[in-house]
Structure 1
């Protein structure tokens, strides 16, 4: 049986160079041909050229767009895109900040596009949509070429698109039909999901408390707790604990890391605290989940 292509392999196999994912240009149809994939955190910027009706949930906001638009996503803010009337993304490209680092005097995160509270969607009229389509087509041509300096040409197109957006006014209208509690819950779940799976010891669970999540969402911790209780019947700390127990159990059963390493990767600096946490929520010590031959 053919091994399913991972999201990392999908991007790297289609990348324009051999470096770990720094840039890629794709069409929506490419994603439709992929096998279902486990969720992975996004550590790249994404620019989508959209059409039709789109509902965009970005941070703690929801925006509705009809027609041609650019959506520019930062790796710092969670987002989801709903397309209620069918596929609404023509093309998109992704890149890591390092890909453009030498082209900006400052960190790319300091651009107004990625400032805290910035709206990510820019509606396009017919003339603007044509201009953006031409830039995407130019990137696509270079993407397929053997020209030694094609990265420079592609970077120029990316910079043109970013500057094009910065000259425009972003969409500021909210999609008021989305229930606030449901929206906040969805973004909370995505923030939680983004931290897993823990795949190496240099990766660590970072958002550990309700206050951490509330800060990322830009809401008061009490508002977050109310929203989650309304939609799930559970508290913020309870949902965090449930997910930690699930991930801890997986690592204890299937990884070769010792208990202290697993605890540290999940945010427990004291192994005794981790052991107490697991026993409190499962009724048994971490060693009880270890497979035969796996170090305790």
Structure 2
């Protein structure tokens, strides 16, 4: 659970999933792709991915998701997010269906203000599996088949259409009842960790240089969650294998990289927005975690 797989790493691991060599920003501000599940391995690693994924599973197997597992023994729709680790272990050779992956920036311009991680289908603590009936299978299969046709087309507005197809799948799922047959292994540590990660994600993205990061340390998060910092640190380490500070630092680095690449804010503005009192502190922090200074990282991103 210590690793997070990027889209680029996913394509390296499963090269047949990106046979068309789509760029990581193929859909304007984000990335979108759709494949048949024939691209999948029978068993996938138990890690987090830094993208969202919607799968229509036709085949049997076991899904390991956060602190749960569920037997998939009939057609199902699965929603996964970058926060929660998961893996798939096929129980039958016959694995059919489709899946699409996308970044939040692909769908965010058309979403309400809250992030996808706060939506009913992708939120922490939600149930991500929906078992579907024959009619739903037929309808959803049709949408995925249209996606497959569209991703290969030359229509100039195809990603707008693909976004609409994705929304249609999301709305169809929101009308369903989630699966309730999870074997739960809920612990106090898991609950506190889920709350911490959710609170961490809510601090981002940073919209303006004046909208500075409020929660910066493990102690800040512990106070917000009304728990002792030692208890928070112990719970997060036990559940994820990483310290609270590791999670906070990784998220700040990710936001810093996005701000360096996608805004014209100067480095001092970025430093202050991320909660650093002085740009020098930010420079030292960023280089320690990336091997580059913020200026070097911005030059590479251009």
Band of TM-score, shorter chain: 0.5 to 0.7
The answer to whether the aligner puts 1:225 opposite 2:225 as a matched pair is no
Cα distance change of structure 1 residues 225 and 103 upon mapping to structure 2, 3 Å threshold: closer
Give 1:9 deviation, angstroms. Answer: 8.1
Structure 2: how far apart are the matches of 1:206 and 1:177? 33
Give 1:157 deviation, angstroms. Answer: 2.0
Residue of 150, 153, 157 corresponding to 1:145: 153
The answer to whether the aligner puts 1:94 opposite 2:97 as a matched pair is no
Residue of 9, 13, 34 corresponding to 1:25: 34
Give 1:97 deviation, angstroms. Answer: 4.8
- Per the alignment, residue 169 of structure 1 pairs with 177
- Per the alignment, residue 68 of structure 2 pairs with 62
Structure 1: how far apart are the matches of 2:76 and 2:276? 44
Paired residue secondary structure (1:94): strand
Which digits, 9 at most, give the CA deviation of each residue in 1:141-194, with x for residues without a partner? Answer: 1111223443344233212211110101123454334766579779989x99xx
Cα distance change of structure 1 residues 226 and 53 upon mapping to structure 2, 3 Å threshold: same
Structure 1: how far apart are the matches of 2:22 and 2:87? 25
Kept in 2, the 8 Å contact 1:48–1:89? The answer is no
The answer to whether the aligner puts 1:132 opposite 2:140 as a matched pair is yes
- Per the alignment, residue 199 of structure 1 pairs with none
Kept in 2, the 8 Å contact 1:55–1:65? The answer is no
Kept in 2, the 8 Å contact 1:47–1:70? The answer is yes
Q: Which structure would you say has the larger Rg?
A: 1
Structure 1 regions of 5+ residues with no counterpart? 193-203, 248-259, 278-285
Q: How does 1:31-46 map to 2 (within 5 A)?
A: 42=50, 44-46=51-53
- Per the alignment, residue 258 of structure 2 pairs with none
Paired residue secondary structure (2:55): strand
Paired residue secondary structure (2:127): coil
Cα distance change of structure 1 residues 151 and 227 upon mapping to structure 2, 3 Å threshold: closer
Paired residue secondary structure (2:184): coil
Give 1:103 deviation, angstroms. Answer: 5.5
The answer to whether the aligner puts 1:14 opposite 2:22 as a matched pair is yes
- Per the alignment, residue 48 of structure 1 pairs with 55
- Per the alignment, residue 261 of structure 2 pairs with none
Q: How does 1:271-286 map to 2 (within 5 A)?
A: none
Tell me the TM-score normalized by structure 2.
Answer: 0.53
Structure 2 regions of 5+ residues with no counterpart? 1-6, 13-17, 201-211, 254-267, 297-302
Structure 1: how far apart are the matches of 2:223 and 2:181? 23
Number of aligned residue pairs: 245
**RMSD of the alignment, in Å?**
5.7
Which digits, 9 at most, give the CA deviation of each residue in 1:33-73, with x for residues without a partner? Answer: xxx9xx9972x54312234221211xxx5352423322224
